[in-house]
Structure 1
Amino acid sequence: MMILTGRTILSALRPPYPYGGELVSQFLFALRLCWFPLLISTVCLCYAAPGLQAANFLTLFGALDRLGGFFVLGSIREIGPNVTAIVLAGVAGTAITADLGARKVREELDALQVLGVDPVKNLVVPRFLALMVVTGLFDIYALLFGIFGGILAELVNGQPLGPFWATLFANASTTDLWGSVLKTTIY
């Protein structure tokens, strides 16, 4: 697996770059395939576990207005990137692996090599790059729906949303957002 990863990265960096159309096709494929599982996963995982548990814990200290600050730590820095990477690896990774495995069984990869076409450069690299791009973009999407889960937790506890937004924006920074996107893309 590490050898394939190394070959993929080297093939992605070396010209020529013949995979423009395939890259867009795989990007749209991953987008169509993963948006709904990611939506459900992020809302559920950010609402149930950290949202309600943190709200109950902060209620003990009378500091439920700090839930927004907790969501910067929990959702933006940790849970959002992890859930995004896991869902995309599970859904899109499985579909891509099945596609490439079926091509290997049908000996399409051997046929490409006979024709002088590098299967890693033409089949693996576009999928690899498309998943990197879509994972970074889906992280922002996951963060929005994760924060929506925090809003639900705040509303379930009967609290106004003003303190949630105030502590969220007071503790969030662009460094947190870019760090989250970069972390997810590397995953």
Structure 2
Amino acid sequence: MKLYIKNMVCSRCKMVVKSELEKLGLQLLSVDLGEVETTEPISELQKRNIAEQLKRYGFELIDDKKSRLIERIKTLIIELVHQNNARLNTNLSVFLSSHLAQDYTSLSNLFSEVEDTTIEKYFIQQKIEKVKELLLYDELTLNEIAFQMHYSSVAYLSNQFKKVTGFSPSHYKQLKDKKRRQIEDL
């Protein structure tokens, strides 16, 4: 049986979810971002226990189709930005449509309706959060960050960064209180 879980955004999330579900005695076939497959069916009582246990760690079981689809869109974007450094061989719309086997217009309309933002803005927010992280590490130049995050130029990255954060990347680096947001809060 498949369980869909909201806020699973990284490999540590997968480890926590796996550990907690195994503590509850579940036999797992697979644990992926946003999705867990068990070897056996799960009763309603087990589902409530799972939901309660996962809630302690900021996760949430998702039951309806719309929420699962939106969570899948978010997961694909998060993986793309935070694990693959926004490396796209095609447009974001084509990437999402092909991975979800759905028309991009319907995906976009649903996402905008439920999340009150567009897929593109969500993608940009994720990229800017990754840029903030790279700026904090202070290991790469802004030019290297722009290249790594597949921006066409440093100027384009700087303009987008300022539009989203209100600061230039260099000003952001100098701030004492760097305001980064958790991925699941975007």
- State whether TM-score is above 0.5: no
TM-score, normalising length: structure 2: 0.29
> Whose strand proportion is higher, 1 or 2?
2
The alignment's TM-score, normalised by the length of structure 1, stands at: 0.29
The structure whose RCO (Cα within 8 Å, separation 6+) is larger is 1
Larger radius of gyration: 1
